[in-house]
A and B are shown apart, each in its own frame.
Chain A
Amino acid sequence: MSIQNNTNMNINKKDKIALIKRNLEKISKTSISIMEVCGTHTMSIAKFGIRSLLPPTINIISGPGCPVCVTSATDIKTAIDMAKMKDVIVATFGDMLKIPSQGDSLQNYSNVKIVYSPLDALTLAQKNKDKHIIFLGIGFETTTPLIAATILNAHKMSLTNFSVLSMHKLVPPALTAILKNPEHNLHAFILPGHVSVITGSRYFNFLKEFKINGVISGFDDLEIMESIYIMVHDFENGIFDIKNNYSNVVSEDGNQKAFKTIFDVFEIDDSEWRGIGIIPGSGLKIKGEFANFDAIKRFDYKKITIDEAPGCICGNILLGKAKPTECNFFEKHCTPSTPIGPCMVSSEGTCAAYFKYFL
C-alpha cells in the first residue's frame, strides 16, 4: 500500500528484493523447510506475497508463534468459566473473543471487555470497585514483561479486585519440543524479532546443538527475504548457525531489565499448547507472593482438561506437519467468520493468513 507521495522509497527496495529473488533461485539446490515462529512473520509473509517470490525448493512453514493460536481449549474453557462468575469483568485482547471451546466462546458474554493494554484492565478495576477484573494474560517473552509490570503496579496500588489468568508461554521449550519430535522435517527457523528485543539474540543459541539454522528477522518484506537468503546460503554450505539480521533493533543481551521483570512475578511451569499438548517448563505461573493476583488461586479454580475440536488439525499445522489446505475443514466449515480452530480465529493465525492472502 503506498502512502501518498511516497512511492519512490519502494522502488529501491523492490529492486533489492528482486536481486535476492534471483540469487535465491541460483543458490537454492536442496529442498529446505523454514519455520517462522511469530504471528507477525506469518502475516507479513502472507501479506507481502513472499511465498510467490521463492523457488519451489524453499518451503515456508508457520510454527507455534501466535499466542492466541497456541492457547489450549482447556485454557479457553477456564476463561469462559470465569466470565460466568458473578460480579466479574473479564478483560482481554480482542483476538481471544472468538476462540471456540466446546461450542462456546468468550464473545457470548457481555461482561467480557476488550482492552488494548493490560494497564487498561487496571483502570477498569479502579473504576469498578464492586466488580472483580480478571485479565487474560497471553503472550510470549515480548508481552509478558508488560503483564508482570501491571501486576507489580496492582500490588503497589494494593488493588484487591484485580487478577490475571496466566496463560503465558516461553518460546525455547516449544522449539525444543518440535526439534525433539522425530517426525519433524525442519532445517531452519526465522526467529521472532519482537521476542528477541526483550531476550537478546543469545537466547536462541541453544538451537545450535540441534544442527539447525536460525536468523532473527525483522518484519518487512526486504528483511524477511534477506533472512531467508542467509538461511538458504548457510544450509547449502553446510553451516549451522544462529544469526541476528535485526541487529539495529535486537542486541545480544536484549532488554534484560524487562526480561527479568517476568521472573520477578512469574515462575516457570508446565503449559498446555494447542494441538501439541503439555510441554514441560514452557509456561509461566504467578509466584506465591503475588497469589492474590492469580485468578486460579483467587477463585480456587480447578482446571478441567478439554479435548480439541475433533478433526481440527491446528496442532499439526503449528508443528509444521500439515498445511491449512490439507485440513478438511479449511475454507469449507472453518473460515474467519466461522472458525473451528485457533489458527483461523486469530488474525495472525496460519489458517487465517492462508485464507486471506494465499493464492
Chain B
Amino acid sequence: MKSNSSSSSSSSASANLNPNSNITLNHGAGGRQMQKFINKIIVDKLKNGILERLDDCAVLALENKKRIAMTTDSYVVSPIFFDGGDIGKLAVCGTVNDLSTSGAKPLALSLAFILEEGISLDTIEKIVSSIATTALEAGIKIVTGDTKVVERGKCDQIYINTCGIGLIDDDIHISSYNAKKDDLVFITGPIGNHEIAMLKARKLLDFNFSTISDVAPLNTKVQTLLNKTKKINVIKDPTRGGLASALNEIAEHSNCEIYLFENQIPVDLDVQAVCEIVGLDPLYLANEGKLIIIADPSAKDAIYEIFKDAKHIGHIKNLHHDIIKNTNNKKCGVYLETTSAGIRKIGVLETTQLPRIC
C-alpha cells in the first residue's frame, strides 16, 4: 500500500476524519489528507507488520529465505488517452515501476477491467494493444485477469487494476527506510511532465505547449543499474504528490534530513512556463516515468550511465542551519536551498492540484 506522503512536518493537523465527514478528492490526491485517511481508517484495522510500512510495494519473505515483492494499483485516469500514453500503458508502467522501487525483477502481472456499459470495443482493443506493447517493453507477462461491466454512469468508461509480483535478489536491500547519512539524492529526469500533459489533455488551458506524459516502464534500467552497483539504498517513483511528497515520505521513513538544491532540480521549459501561468509548483506535480534514487556517492557514475537525464539534486544530511536548530526540533524533513541561497521547508502536498491523473 502506498500513501505517497508523510506527516513529518505537522502530525497534529486535522484531516477531516470525523465520522460525519465524507471522502473528498483530497483523500486520493497523494498528499497529507490521503496519508491520514489510509493510516487511520485502513491501516489501523488491517495492520500486520507488513502493510503499515506503506512502501510502494510489500516485501514478503518466503520459507527458503527468498523474498518476493508484491504491489497493486488501480487506474482511473481521465481522459483515457493522452499525449504520451493511455490508461493501459499507465496500468503496466505504474505497477512495474512500483515493483522496481524494491529492486525486484518483475515476474508477472494481473489485469482487471471494470468497464462501463457502452464503451466501444474499438477503444478497449486499443487499450489492450497498448498494454501488450508496454508489457513486452517491460519484459513482464500478464498471467491472470478479470472483467466486470457496470451500468452506464457507474464508472467512467474504463477502470483498470493491476497486481504485480517480482523477485528480489538476496544482495538487494532497497526501501524508503534505507536512506543513509551522506547519501546522494538523484532524480532520473525533468519533473512534472505527466501532470502537465493531463492538464493539456483536459483542455484546461487554451494555449499550445509540447509537453507529453513521461509514462514509461523503468524496471529494465533499474535491473541494469543493480547489476552494476549494489550501493543503491532507496528507489521511489514520485507519482501523485510529486517529488516533494515522495521525498517527505523517505525523510520520515528513514528519519533523515534531505537537503535539495533548487537550481539542480530539472524542469522542462514548457512545464516551468505552464506552472508559472497557472500557479502550480513543479515539486508537487505527478510523474509516471521518473525515479528518485538515493545512493552511496560511489554509485554516482553508474546512475549517470544508465539514466542519461539523471541529476544529482541533493543529499541526506543533518542540517545545521540556525533557523532550523532554533525553531524545529524534528529530525526528519525536506529542505531546499533556493536559487538565492535562502533555505526553506518543502512540505507534503496539501490539497489536490488535479484529480484523476493516474
**Interface of A with B (CB < 8 Å)?**
1-4, 7, 10, 13-14, 17-18, 21, 46-53, 221-222, 225, 331-333, 335-338, 347, 355-359
- Smallest Cβ-Cβ distance to B351: which chain A residue: A337
- Smallest Cβ-Cβ distance to B324: which chain A residue: A359
Tell me which of B14, B15, B324, B327 has the highest count of chain A C-beta atoms within 10 A of its own C-beta: B14
Q: Report A-chain residues with C-beta under 8 Å of the C-beta of B190.
A: 4
Contact B344 A359 (CB under 8 A): yes
Question: Do A4 and B344 contact each other (CB < 8 Å), given the known contacts A337-B351, A338-B16, A347-B279?
Answer: no
Additional A-B contact list (9), CB under 8 Å, known A13-B339, A359-B345? A1-B283, A2-B263, A10-B339, A14-B339, A335-B32, A337-B26, A337-B32, A356-B347, A359-B343
Kindly list the 4 A-B residue pairs having the minimum CB-CB distance in the complex, ordered from nearest.
Answer: A49-B342, A221-B340, A336-B350, A49-B344
Contact B13 A2 (CB under 8 A): no
Subset of 19 A-B contacts with CB under 8 Å: A2-B265, A2-B266, A2-B339, A13-B339, A14-B340, A18-B341, A46-B344, A47-B344, A48-B340, A49-B336, A50-B340, A52-B342, A221-B339, A225-B340, A335-B32, A335-B350, A337-B15, A357-B344, A357-B347
- Smallest Cβ-Cβ distance to B282: which chain A residue: A1
Q: Report B-chain residues with C-beta under 8 Å of the C-beta of A4.
A: 190, 266-269
Contact B347 A355 (CB under 8 A): yes
Interface flags, B329-349, vs A, CB<8A=1, else 0 = 000000111111111110100
Q: Report B-chain residues with C-beta under 8 Å of the C-beta of A357.
A: 344-345, 347
With the chains together, A355 CA to B13 CA distance in Å? 11
- Smallest Cβ-Cβ distance to B347: which chain A residue: A356
Contact A338 B266 (CB under 8 A): no
- Smallest Cβ-Cβ distance to B325: which chain A residue: A359
Contact A14 B13 (CB under 8 A): no
Interface flags, B317-329, vs A, CB<8A=1, else 0 = 0000101100110
Q: Report A-chain residues with C-beta under 8 Å of the C-beta of B262.
A: 1-2
- Smallest Cβ-Cβ distance to A8: which chain B residue: B263
A324 to chain B, nearest CB (A): 12
With the chains together, A283 CA to B16 CA distance in Å? 36
Q: Which of B16, B269, B283 contacts A337 (CB 8 A)?
A: B16
- Residue B213, interface by CB 8 Å: no
B82 to chain A, nearest CB (A): 22
- Residue B64, interface by CB 8 Å: no
Q: Which of B13, B321, B342 contacts A338 (CB 8 A)?
A: B13
- Residue B12, interface by CB 8 Å: yes
With the chains together, A326 CA to B160 CA distance in Å? 47
Contact B327 A2 (CB under 8 A): no
Q: Report A-chain residues with C-beta under 8 Å of the C-beta of B265.
A: 1-2
Within 9-53 of B, Cβ neighbours of A (below 8 Å) are at: 10, 12-16, 26, 31-33
Q: Which of A50, A222, A225, A335 contacts B14 (CB 8 A)?
A: A335
Q: Report B-chain residues with C-beta under 8 Å of the C-beta of A355.
A: 10, 347, 350
Contact B342 A53 (CB under 8 A): yes
Contact B263 A359 (CB under 8 A): no
A351 to chain B, nearest CB (A): 12
With the chains together, A163 CA to B13 CA distance in Å? 39
Q: Report A-chain residues with C-beta under 8 Å of the C-beta of B267.
A: 1-4
- Smallest Cβ-Cβ distance to A344: which chain B residue: B350
Q: Report A-chain residues with C-beta under 8 Å of the C-beta of B341.
A: 14, 17-18, 21, 53
A303 to chain B, nearest CB (A): 30
